[in-house]
Chain A
Amino acid sequence: MSKILEKNGKAAEKSVSKAAEKATALTHCATPSGEIYPDAIDLAKVRAAHHALYTQRETITADGNTAAAIAALQMWRCILFAGFPITPSTKWIETVAARVAADVGGKKRVKLLEAEHAVADYLVGAAAACRDLIFPTATSSVGLDHMTETTRSLGASGLGNVMLVNVYRATANFPLCIEGDPSDTLAHRDDGFIQLACRGKQQIYDTVLQAPCLGMQPDIMTPTMPGYYGIKDSHRNARLTVEPDAEIHSFQDHWIRSCPLPGLLNGDSAFGNCVTSRHFQGFKVAQRRRMDRVIDILPIIGADFERKFGRPGLAYYDAVGFQNGTPPDIAVVSMGPDFGTFEAIREEYQRLAWTRVAGIAMRLLTPFPREAVRARLAGAKVVLVVNQAHHHGRGHLTLDVADALSNIENPPRIVSVFTGLGGADVSESTWERILDHARSALDGKALPPVAFFHEGTQL
């Protein structure tokens, strides 16, 4: 990761500055309708009206939903919280609502809507009205599905000031399952959101703080979808370090500049116009280019976060066990909190199995960081991809990893497995059995295209 940062760092920093200059210039351009009203929203007043949640760094106990809610509450640019409750994300809006209600004289508001679709529509309207404020919500599973008509439009609309916290929960299900697997977020890979996966309270909090900095970059302007596993992370309590609001504002204000486009309140006259196919294609190409810029800028923001707060910031993935010059026999690709159980057993497994094992837990899902993943996995003998969401092919992650490893000499053999569907527990013994399965590939054994594991058993 650090090599990629060094290589791309200077060029990307320059590029970020250029984009910011361009943004400042554009803000003062007239809209096609003629008039603009740059002072329609007094951001200085909005900033001054923020009541700090924390004035110094503190350590508290929190679960994942609370961590994500606190982060949103600490941003001065978040003044309107729209939502509709759905398990396991409900505590996010509950926490936000409780704090807003308790903040006597506070100017922030919570808007409880009729359903998730209404929430998404509301976000579009609010975010298009003022592109310099941040509009967050949280949802899960079929709640996200219910938003789909609007999320896809939203993803293409340049509203990088929308942040949709996705608390992963199994989706498309009868029987109903309220536990966390990432099938909801992975079914929405093409909605046009920057999808960031988190594990653990601290990473959830830190990611929510950084996500708008990325999405609101003038040459990205793409909504963000930070996500974490329902129940496994949303309901797990642990220690959380929270930063003072003032420091968060200083960090965010460094990265979030005036949006190059005026909002509806600043003079833009319409949103969601109809265009001919010729223009539509141009919009889609531009959308794709904006999304691609995430790959360049994400590590820069992550590195700046680490400099300021002393904790790892945004990254393509978390890596464990890779040693310079000695590629692993098995490189695991996974995501979410169950990767922690793999970390817990990794060294003991290596010792007993005489096999070098390393792994990455994906943090950036969309856009998928193909080059960085390829660079990390290229020397491994076997790449073991652990999927946790239902897929009729070899697995969402497997397809991305296979794409990343295509067209290289002597590519690693890819072993694809599924476990933890519907948020099922992935125990130590399950991880051991999965690693045994991948180890048999080292010996050249023929394996099925996919295999399922649960409770230490191959199903």
Chain B
Amino acid sequence: MPAIDLRERIRTSVLDVRGDGKAGGGLVLAFQSLANLMLRDSGLHVQEWPFFSSARRGANIRSFLRVSAKPILAACEVTRPALSVLMDEGAARSADFTQGVPHGGTFVLNTPHTPEECARHYGLTGRVVTVAGDAIGSEHLKHAIGNVSIYVAVAHAIGGFEEKAIVASFLETLKKRHVPDAVVERNRGALRASLDAVREGVFEEESARRSTAPWLGYGYLPVGAQTALRLSAANQTANYAPSGLRLRFDDPKTLCNGCAHCITNCPEGIIRFVPDAERGLLVTGVDVSTFCKLCGECIAVCPEHLFLEVPYEEPWMEVSRS
């Protein structure tokens, strides 16, 4: 099946776009800039809004965008997006960004991987557009943030925009937020770099039609459910951690002095220890798999500097090795 013509969707019905990312990752800014870009065309109607909770930085968030040549009445969330955006691959650990995307839909991902690798890894059919936004952000903005690049890649995927308008619309959004001129200029550099960095391909290997998962009810919700929610497997705070980094406890010379500062300061209770009659509580390691969100408390309080934030890359079987 050919990829859905997104411009045609705008002309004849409504183009639904959904984005998955993490709080503080710039997804909302990217979508606001996209809305600005669309609204430059006086014949288009646009709705743009975020979905986020009271959870902290790093928690999953979603953004929605509707674009149409006709007035838009619907106000509900986008559940069948013809264009799905994955701003942060870490978000895909706890949200299905492919959910509800129809056959021939477009996926736009902020990733260092190729479209082919992404199609295989995530089982995507249709059009896959990728851009290594974090790397571009690191180079131009001194911060691994891919929102500039993902904005450019989505504009590219929809098509029909002049490069000048793409750049101008994003910078306008920044100015609305009173961003200093020097930062605006650095973003201009990132925008220009992103324009040349977008890659895409169309894939038809998988045949499974993706649909919205049925609502299965709330399950058991005890009174005062916060404790249950916080410790539940469904609320793995490790997913709030910045992508590409992990906490490591490194004590080959057994320097831990048993002060227990890390244990009392860790908000998630993930530090493993053994009691020692002479020295106190000796740390033996950390469980980073479920609840460590890299808050950095242990790193800050350890007098022996035994906790480290180290680069971590999730291994992909699909990555072609040369």
- The B-contacting residues of A in range 326-374, CB under 8 angstroms, are 337-341, 343-345
Contact A457 B54, beta carbon cutoff 8 Å: no
Contact B215 A457, beta carbon cutoff 8 Å: yes
Q: Cβ of A231 < 8 Å from any Cβ of B? A: yes
Q: Tell whether A238 pairs with B48 under 8 Å between CB atoms, given A338-B76, A341-B76.
A: yes
Contact B74 A428, beta carbon cutoff 8 Å: yes
Contact B74 A344, beta carbon cutoff 8 Å: yes
- The contact string, 1 if C-beta is below 8 Å from chain A, for chain B 6-48, is 0000000000000000000000000010011001001001111
Q: Tell whether A236 pairs with B48 under 8 Å between CB atoms, given A176-B54, A428-B76.
A: yes
- The A-contacting residues of B in range 199-218, CB under 8 angstroms, are 214-215, 217-218
Residue total for A at the interface (Cβ-Cβ under 8 A):
37
- The A-contacting residues of B in range 60-81, CB under 8 angstroms, are 72-77, 79
Which residues of A have CB within 8 Å of B218?
459
Shortest distance from the beta carbon of B226 to any chain A beta carbon, whole Å: 5
Q: Cβ of B231 < 8 Å from any Cβ of A? A: no
Pick from B35, B39, B46, B229: contact of A175, CB below 8 A.
B229
Contact A237 B74, beta carbon cutoff 8 Å: no
Contact A231 B51, beta carbon cutoff 8 Å: yes
Contact A237 B54, beta carbon cutoff 8 Å: no
- The B-contacting residues of A in range 175-189, CB under 8 angstroms, are 175-179
Q: Cβ of A454 < 8 Å from any Cβ of B? A: yes
Using a Cβ cutoff of 8 Å, how many contacts connect chains A and B? 80
- The contact string, 1 if C-beta is below 8 Å from chain A, for chain B 212-228, is 00110110000011100
Pick from A61, A199, A231: contact of B35, CB below 8 A.
A61
Pick from A239, A345, A425: contact of B45, CB below 8 A.
A239
- The contact string, 1 if C-beta is below 8 Å from chain B, for chain A 232-254, is 10011111000000000000000
Q: Cβ of B178 < 8 Å from any Cβ of A? A: yes
Which residues of B have CB within 8 Å of A454?
215
Contact B76 A178, beta carbon cutoff 8 Å: no
- The contact string, 1 if C-beta is below 8 Å from chain B, for chain A 388-419, is 00000000000000000000000000000000
What is the bound-complex CA distance between A344 and B13, given in angstroms? Answer: 12
Which residues of B have CB within 8 Å of A177?
53-54
Pick from A61, A344, A427, A457: contact of B39, CB below 8 A.
A61
Shortest distance from the beta carbon of B109 to any chain A beta carbon, whole Å: 24
Q: Cβ of A38 < 8 Å from any Cβ of B? A: no
Which residues of A have CB within 8 Å of B39?
61, 239
Residue total for B at the interface (Cβ-Cβ under 8 A):
30
Shortest distance from the beta carbon of A438 to any chain B beta carbon, whole Å: 19
Which residues of B have CB within 8 Å of A430?
76
Which residues of B have CB within 8 Å of A426?
75-76
Which residues of B have CB within 8 Å of A456?
215
Q: Tell whether A340 pairs with B54 under 8 Å between CB atoms, given A174-B224, A238-B46.
A: no
Shortest distance from the beta carbon of B218 to any chain A beta carbon, whole Å: 8
Shortest distance from the beta carbon of B82 to any chain A beta carbon, whole Å: 16
CB closest chain-B residue, reference A345:
B74
Which residues of B have CB within 8 Å of A345?
74
Contact B215 A340, beta carbon cutoff 8 Å: no
Q: Cβ of A455 < 8 Å from any Cβ of B? A: yes
What is the bound-complex CA distance between A18 and B79, given in angstroms? Answer: 55
Contact A237 B76, beta carbon cutoff 8 Å: no
CB closest chain-B residue, reference A201:
B47
What is the bound-complex CA distance between A232 and B76, given in angstroms? Answer: 9
Q: Tell me the interface secondary structure of chain A in the complex.
A: loop
CB closest chain-B residue, reference A59:
B42
Which residues of B have CB within 8 Å of A175?
225-226, 229
Q: Cβ of B189 < 8 Å from any Cβ of A? A: no
Q: Cβ of B49 < 8 Å from any Cβ of A? A: yes
Q: Cβ of A98 < 8 Å from any Cβ of B? A: yes
Which residues of A have CB within 8 Å of B50?
231, 235
Q: Tell whether A239 pairs with B75 under 8 Å between CB atoms, given A175-B225, A176-B54, A459-B217.
A: no
What is the bound-complex CA distance between A237 and B54, given in angstroms? Answer: 20
Q: Give the one of B46, B53, B76 with max A CB within 10 A.
A: B76
Q: Tell whether A425 pairs with B77 under 8 Å between CB atoms, given A98-B178, A237-B35.
A: yes
Q: Tell whether A237 pairs with B73 under 8 Å between CB atoms, given A454-B215, A459-B217.
A: no
Shortest distance from the beta carbon of A428 to any chain B beta carbon, whole Å: 6
Which residues of B have CB within 8 Å of A344?
73-74
CB closest chain-A residue, reference B28:
A235
Q: Tell whether A239 pairs with B215 under 8 Å between CB atoms, given A61-B35, A425-B76, A427-B79.
A: no
Shortest distance from the beta carbon of B92 to any chain A beta carbon, whole Å: 21
Shortest distance from the beta carbon of B146 to any chain A beta carbon, whole Å: 21
Shortest distance from the beta carbon of B36 to any chain A beta carbon, whole Å: 6
What is the bound-complex CA distance between A178 and B50, given in angstroms? Answer: 13
Which residues of A have CB within 8 Å of B32?
237
What is the bound-complex CA distance between A176 and B226, given in angstroms? Answer: 9
Shortest distance from the beta carbon of A343 to any chain B beta carbon, whole Å: 4
What is the bound-complex CA distance between A456 and B100, given in angstroms? Answer: 15
CB closest chain-B residue, reference A338:
B75
What is the bound-complex CA distance between A430 and B35, given in angstroms? Answer: 27
Contact B73 A61, beta carbon cutoff 8 Å: no
What is the bound-complex CA distance between A238 and B50, given in angstroms? Answer: 13
Contact B215 A232, beta carbon cutoff 8 Å: no
- The B-contacting residues of A in range 419-459, CB under 8 angstroms, are 425-428, 430, 454-457, 459
Contact A341 B48, beta carbon cutoff 8 Å: no
Which residues of B have CB within 8 Å of A339?
75
- The B-contacting residues of A in range 155-182, CB under 8 angstroms, are 174-179
Contact A236 B49, beta carbon cutoff 8 Å: yes
Contact A341 B73, beta carbon cutoff 8 Å: yes
What is the bound-complex CA distance between A231 and B50, given in angstroms? Answer: 7
What is the bound-complex CA distance between A237 and B67, given in angstroms? Answer: 12
Shortest distance from the beta carbon of B225 to any chain A beta carbon, whole Å: 6
Contact A340 B35, beta carbon cutoff 8 Å: no
What is the bound-complex CA distance between A422 and B213, given in angstroms? Answer: 21
What is the bound-complex CA distance between A398 and B299, given in angstroms? Answer: 56
Contact A236 B178, beta carbon cutoff 8 Å: no
Shortest distance from the beta carbon of B72 to any chain A beta carbon, whole Å: 8
Which residues of A have CB within 8 Å of B229?
175
CB closest chain-A residue, reference B217:
A459
CB-based closest 4 A-B pairs: A455-B215, A236-B49, A337-B75, A344-B73
25 A-B residue pairs with Cβ-Cβ distance under 8 Å, sorted by A, are: A61-B39, A87-B54, A98-B178, A174-B224, A174-B226, A176-B54, A179-B53, A199-B75, A235-B50, A236-B47, A236-B48, A236-B49, A237-B35, A238-B47, A338-B75, A339-B75, A340-B72, A340-B74, A340-B75, A341-B73, A341-B74, A341-B75, A455-B215, A457-B214, A457-B215
Further 5 A-B residue pairs, CB within 8 A, beyond A175-B226, A427-B79: A61-B39, A238-B48, A343-B73, A430-B76, A455-B215
